[in-house]
A = this chain, B = another copy of it.
Amino acid sequence: MTDLLTVDEALEAVLQAVRPLPGTWEPLAQALRCVLAEDVLADIDLPPFDKALVDGYAVRSQDLTGEERWLRLGERISAGQTPTRGLAVGEAAVVMTGAPVPPGSDAVVMHERTRSGDGGVWVEEAGVRAGQNILARGREMRAGEVVLSRGTILKPAHLGVLASVGRTSVRVVRPRVAIVPTGDELVEPERKPGPGQIRNSNAIMLQTMAIEETAAADVLPIAPDEPDPLRQVLARGLESDVLIITGGVSAGQRDLVPAALELLGVRRIFHKVRLKPGKPLWFGTGPPRVAIGQPGPLVFGLPGNPVSGLVGFLLFIKPALAALSGRPRAQGVAEARLMRVFRHRGDRPTYHPARLLTGGDPHAAAPIETLEWAGSADLRTVAAADGFAVFPAGDRDYDPGEIVGFLPTR
């Protein structure tokens, strides 16, 4: 057992194999939460003109220094229009929010602080300042300036900024993930399993986990336990940045997947990690993708049991996707306070489904309780959990109140 890699050693080996990905062009809506792969420059000044920020009157502030603040009405400028002439001395132009103010004006007085009268407008506000209620041309950004830097994680407001500088697509890092379910026992979810068969529940789970990490994730057809068809499906998967295979890596499974990967030029980095569930995890790197000028894909072989796959994804594939994207690594295991007795037996660190309890002290480790669980094939219990309590190797009885690790499923 001691010759197996620990979780930390295995993760280190995965991260060492990562080569950060270049960007790909994506439409803005697809770029949400992705990492920006370019510095984005403003193509114009923004605002492109001196702009009224409120509805009211564009004025010359020096006309309003006295007690008698009456101005005659000039032109009316709505948003989308342009002034036809400059503002004369003693004149006010009616401006709508978003409209350009006329040359010569240097302030806007809000509509609410004026009244009409004597064929013009009385300004009730005293002390009108130059610049008031005007957003000067270029105040938000100047043409040529970098408005968003490479590495920014794109929120909706960033996408708005991109649109404002003329972008409908943008270079971002978006790892391509292919998922290959393997195993003669698997049938697609829409089919009723025959004797000895089981529905493929891993693919949709791993696909949506990858999507949550901003990957573009595709599920390939179920590969049978036969060398040639298996190799054909895996070869397709090796065109992606990350290939995730489920099943076919456990000790007794005739080594079909490792053998097929070897024939395809995938270099094994490790097979088996000291953890439970999920020990048979296989990891390697595929051959360089010469056609697209890219290094080889990361290749993960996950055990077929759904919970083993889920734990393997959280511990290794999620950090790998972050590293491929140049995204800061999220905290993996946090601390939590066990609120129930737990009897741990085993020589591997063990991940046991647990749920967060409410009502804990918000300033201390979160209280959790372990759930009754039938083992790594029991996904139902894991779906009802908030994550996994982590128990180190070695037989031990844990008491309520003890601090243990907690790996959230999110």
The chain A residues found within 8 Å of chain B, CB to CB, are 28-29, 32, 43-44, 46-49, 51, 53, 55-56, 78-82, 94, 96-100, 111-112, 135, 139-141, 147-148, 155-168, 183-186, 189-193, 195-209, 211-212, 225, 247, 250-254, 303-306, 310, 362-363, 374-383, 409-410
Partner among B80, B161, B199 whose Cβ is within 8 Å of the Cβ of A184: B80
Partner among B112, B203, B252, B310 whose Cβ is within 8 Å of the Cβ of A163: B203
Whole-angstrom CA separation of A96 from B209 in the bound complex: 28
CB distance from A139 to the nearest CB of B (A): 5
Residues of B near A198 (CB, < 8 A) are 47-48, 98, 164
Could you list some 22 contacts between A and B, CB below 8 A?
A: A29-B207, A43-B192, A48-B197, A55-B251, A78-B184, A78-B225, A79-B183, A79-B247, A80-B225, A82-B195, A97-B253, A98-B183, A141-B380, A156-B205, A159-B208, A160-B201, A163-B199, A163-B200, A164-B199, A164-B379, A165-B199, A167-B189
Residues of B near A197 (CB, < 8 A) are 48, 80
User: 10 additional contacts, CB 8 Å, given A80-B183, A140-B374?
Assistant: A49-B195, A79-B184, A79-B185, A79-B247, A80-B185, A96-B250, A98-B185, A98-B198, A159-B205, A161-B383
10 residue pairs, one from A and one from B, having the closest CB atoms: A55-B252, A80-B185, A80-B184, A160-B205, A363-B363, A157-B383, A163-B189, A164-B201, A79-B185, A160-B201
Residues of B near A303 (CB, < 8 A) are 97
Number of copies: 2
Residues of B near A135 (CB, < 8 A) are 374-375, 377-378
Residue of B nearest to A309 (CB): B160
A29-B204, A409-B157 given; A55·B253 CB < 8 A: yes
Residue of B nearest to A133 (CB): B375
Whole-angstrom CA separation of A28 from B199 in the bound complex: 15
Residue of B nearest to A250 (CB): B97
Residue of B nearest to A313 (CB): B156
* Contact of A204 with B383 in the complex, beta carbons under 8 Å: no
* Contact of B212 with A32 in the complex, beta carbons under 8 Å: yes
Partner among B100, B161, B204, B250 whose Cβ is within 8 Å of the Cβ of A160: B204
Residues of B near A185 (CB, < 8 A) are 78-81, 98-99
Residue of B nearest to A135 (CB): B377
CB distance from A232 to the nearest CB of B (A): 19
Residues of B near A51 (CB, < 8 A) are 377
A205-B157, A374-B140, A383-B155 given; A100·B196 CB < 8 A: yes
Residue of B nearest to A49 (CB): B196
Whole-angstrom CA separation of A238 from B202 in the bound complex: 39
Residues of B near A56 (CB, < 8 A) are 252
Partner among B306, B363, B410 whose Cβ is within 8 Å of the Cβ of A155: B410
* Contact of B184 with A251 in the complex, beta carbons under 8 Å: no
Partner among B160, B165, B208, B247 whose Cβ is within 8 Å of the Cβ of A156: B208
* Contact of A189 with B164 in the complex, beta carbons under 8 Å: yes
Whole-angstrom CA separation of A378 from B157 in the bound complex: 11
Residues of B near A155 (CB, < 8 A) are 383, 409-410
* Contact of B28 with A204 in the complex, beta carbons under 8 Å: yes
Residues of B near A225 (CB, < 8 A) are 78, 80
